[in-house]
Structure 1
């Protein structure tokens, strides 16, 4: 058997291995990276050994042909070449964006028909769609009266089988709060079983993003309100990303959202998708009719002072601007928090604990600007907008020229429906910091939402001019994971 493996390694030369690579890409959309080619070679050899095939060329033709064994073998190969890395509430910031902004918006839009359709594309073993079901159960009153579809799909048949079982080990909960784990899961030996009510709200099916046609009325992949496809496109060629992106757009309802991994759509033609840059993450919304595009306007001579006079924020409002870097927040007030500093609690999504710890710190240091500002963010992310506003105002009293509290106050004002006040606050932020790119974008979006696209375009043009003057790799505050290059590319489309 050892000699057979040596023979196989010789027959899978680099040229043949690249042919396998291209074949896999055509069939699945997955592009094996250079550093993974040795692992691909071993996976192919393993499948050949299982099938007692001693020539790699024969195995290639099995996959490329039309024989009856071809579909089953593709599934076997996919099992060993795709990664199943996933866990509950995997990206805390994106989870916060979904909980506090996107899902409430969709619920409000769909309240009359009481229907919500969510698709987790590339769901692996199911942690992501189950996380969505848990989020909805927490924020949607009388959920049993709604027609809810939460669909999880993956190309890997074995991953879908595991997802349907709803059994998970401890590693799947590495960023999950213990209260959530204890409420929605039941311990069984060394595994945790998901609550049956949550499990029944999620449907799973095998699906190939590259080859399958959608929207498809027969599979349920149609008229979707929210598509989540994270850490999938990083394995795709740009051309395949473009093809799938178009199908996603066609599958979304008007006003529906697409959430991807950070930077996965960089340099892609977004078509009818409009970029909404929140502090937590970029997200894309389907808007069929956009009257003006930045690229249609001469960048021109719109000075910053003029842009501020015709203010207008753009897009949706987030909820969590930048994090203060005060050493007090990192090192102090660690009692009752398992040794974590306030900022660490905040970054881990433990907002209530972060707010409580900040309050404790403020009893000793009532004039600590950073503590007030972080407390405001923590309260805002927890949905306590009253306390968030109080701490914003206190931070402004301490530092009257700080623009960040105004920016956060603007978000709170928009959330509670006071868009006029949000515009006033964003104008103040741009006055205090004429290079505050995020404020121009947010203000431009608010004007767009009111139909004042002329002002919206002027403000985004000002943001574009500022972005052009920055190195592409510069992180734009408060969009902590978005670079100047990514934001410029998104806005310019």
Structure 2
């Protein structure tokens, strides 16, 4: 909802937009991107726009080119878009010809093909989507493809993956941004990358004797900068609890700890995600810390603190925060899967397996159609199927996965 408008604003001078759905399966994702671009049409009128879908599976690409789908493909599409962009024919729904013309499909192998390829479309991309692909691959294959994606992105371009798919893998000039539902990586120049790695300590400071904690937070230059940025949509996961009543800061005495700002828990969490999304990690962490002061037993700020620690490369702190999330909320599926991914990267197969078993146990308690926090439209049933596949796969299959198809269908 926010990434595409940001890209359009960034590319306004060039009047071009290049998007790649890598591992597009039968094309649903590529056409969804075309719908979003179409809805932003007044802002991109006359632009040079490429929406490319590739997949290793020839049959999937043929089906994508036809643009004809059964009812199951529409489970995550609202009725208004379905009626606007599709026509029913013979029990199936056919994509509108105008929208079909916006998308190009071709067969491609993410492991074996050359990327970037200046002779064909995949080069200087503004946005690459590759979700539910890396989960089938061995670490060396993941690293190889991630490097290709980084080289194929234009400076400032964005890579979107599944929630934990690149966790623990080196990402070079790709800087993580903490969006719920997907993990987003933005390409920096190597100079910018070095600056990020050498990030200064947090700007938030202790209040002096004459001001409140809230005033000290507002004095933070990073916090001030956020007023210059467009407000983003608050993630649904952050709105699952009614906002806490905002209490006025208590009078400060020499012996008393600083009172949290009168922002309210939900406002602080929303601010923390906005700050993390735009790369202001210090301000995001300060907001999370203040949120924990208001609600020490809410798992959500600790989960974002885990993501921020991972961005800094501190995997031990990440693990500590994720364990705290699970302690506070045993049904927080993302924390189990994140921990499992980290243990797997560390070579600790036993702990990784236990995390997946715990996730399976919790998912089985949920109705299959329940949407799982931080996983967008994915349901408990769909995530359970993925976890079952992970648990069923023998260890030797993981080593052989580098040669596995990069084009698995993913709904």
Give the TM-score of the pair, scaled to structure 1.
0.51
Q: Is the 8 A contact 1:406 1:429 kept in 2?
A: yes
- The separation in 2 between residues aligned to 1:161 and 1:104, in whole angstroms, is 30
The aligned counterpart of 1:407 is 269
Q: Deviations over 1:162-187 (max 9, x none)?
A: 11111111111122111111111011
The alignment of Structure 1 onto Structure 2 pairs a total of residues equal to 305
The aligned counterpart of 2:384 is none
Structure 1 SS opposite 2:164: coil
- The separation in 1 between residues aligned to 2:128 and 2:143, in whole angstroms, is 16
- The separation in 2 between residues aligned to 1:405 and 1:171, in whole angstroms, is 37
Q: Is the 8 A contact 1:410 1:422 kept in 2?
A: yes
**Distance change >3 Å, CA 487–CA 433, structure 1 → 2:** farther
**Distance change >3 Å, CA 305–CA 142, structure 1 → 2:** closer
Which structure has more RCO (C-alpha within 8 Å, separation ≥ 6)?
A: 2
- The separation in 2 between residues aligned to 1:476 and 1:213, in whole angstroms, is 46
Structure 2 SS opposite 1:322: helix
- The separation in 2 between residues aligned to 1:461 and 1:122, in whole angstroms, is 28
The aligned counterpart of 1:209 is 110
- Of 6, 21, 32, the residue aligned with 1:131 is 32
**Distance change >3 Å, CA 469–CA 441, structure 1 → 2:** closer
Structure 2 SS opposite 1:135: helix
- Of 163, 167, 179, the residue aligned with 2:80 is 179
Q: Is the 8 A contact 1:440 1:460 kept in 2?
A: no
Give 1:150 shift.
Answer: 0.2
- The separation in 2 between residues aligned to 1:195 and 1:263, in whole angstroms, is 34
- The separation in 2 between residues aligned to 1:466 and 1:246, in whole angstroms, is 24
Q: Is the 8 A contact 1:153 1:204 kept in 2?
A: yes
**Distance change >3 Å, CA 213–CA 473, structure 1 → 2:** farther
- Of 125, 148, 153, the residue aligned with 2:54 is 153
Are 2:193 and 1:290 aligned? yes
Q: Deviations over 1:89-121 (max 9, x none)?
A: xxxxxxxxxx2x211110110011111100001
- The separation in 1 between residues aligned to 2:322 and 2:303, in whole angstroms, is 14
* Unaligned segments of structure 2, at least 5 residues: 208-212, 249-260, 344-411
Structure 1 SS opposite 2:157: strand
- The separation in 1 between residues aligned to 2:312 and 2:289, in whole angstroms, is 14
Are 2:329 and 1:481 aligned? no
Q: Is the 8 A contact 1:279 1:318 kept in 2?
A: no
**Distance change >3 Å, CA 298–CA 176, structure 1 → 2:** closer
- The separation in 2 between residues aligned to 1:245 and 1:323, in whole angstroms, is 30
- The separation in 2 between residues aligned to 1:272 and 1:152, in whole angstroms, is 24
Q: Is the 8 A contact 1:429 1:439 kept in 2?
A: no
The aligned counterpart of 1:267 is 168
* Unaligned segments of structure 1, at least 5 residues: 1-98, 326-369, 374-393, 445-456
Q: Deviations over 1:426-484 (max 9, x none)?
A: 78546535894467689x8xxxxxxxxxxxx9x9699974753552884999x973566
- Of 12, 23, 34, the residue aligned with 1:111 is 12
**Distance change >3 Å, CA 266–CA 140, structure 1 → 2:** same
The aligned counterpart of 2:323 is 471
Structure 2 SS opposite 1:283: strand
The aligned counterpart of 2:246 is 396
Give 1:248 shift.
Answer: 0.6
Are 2:141 and 1:237 aligned? no
Give 1:403 shift.
Answer: 1.9
**Richer in helix (by share):** 1
**Distance change >3 Å, CA 462–CA 177, structure 1 → 2:** same
Q: Deviations over 1:332-376 (max 9, x none)?
A: xxxxxxxxxxxxxxxxxxxxxxxxxxxxxxxxxxxxxx45x4xxx
Structure 2 SS opposite 1:249: helix
Give 1:147 shift.
Answer: 0.9
The aligned counterpart of 1:220 is 121
- The separation in 1 between residues aligned to 2:247 and 2:39, in whole angstroms, is 36
The aligned counterpart of 1:319 is 234
Give the TM-score of the pair, scaled to structure 2.
0.61
Structure 1 SS opposite 2:7: helix
Structure 2 SS opposite 1:471: helix
Are 2:40 and 1:190 aligned? no
Structure 2 SS opposite 1:290: helix
**Distance change >3 Å, CA 185–CA 482, structure 1 → 2:** farther
Structure 1 SS opposite 2:177: strand
Structure 2 SS opposite 1:181: helix
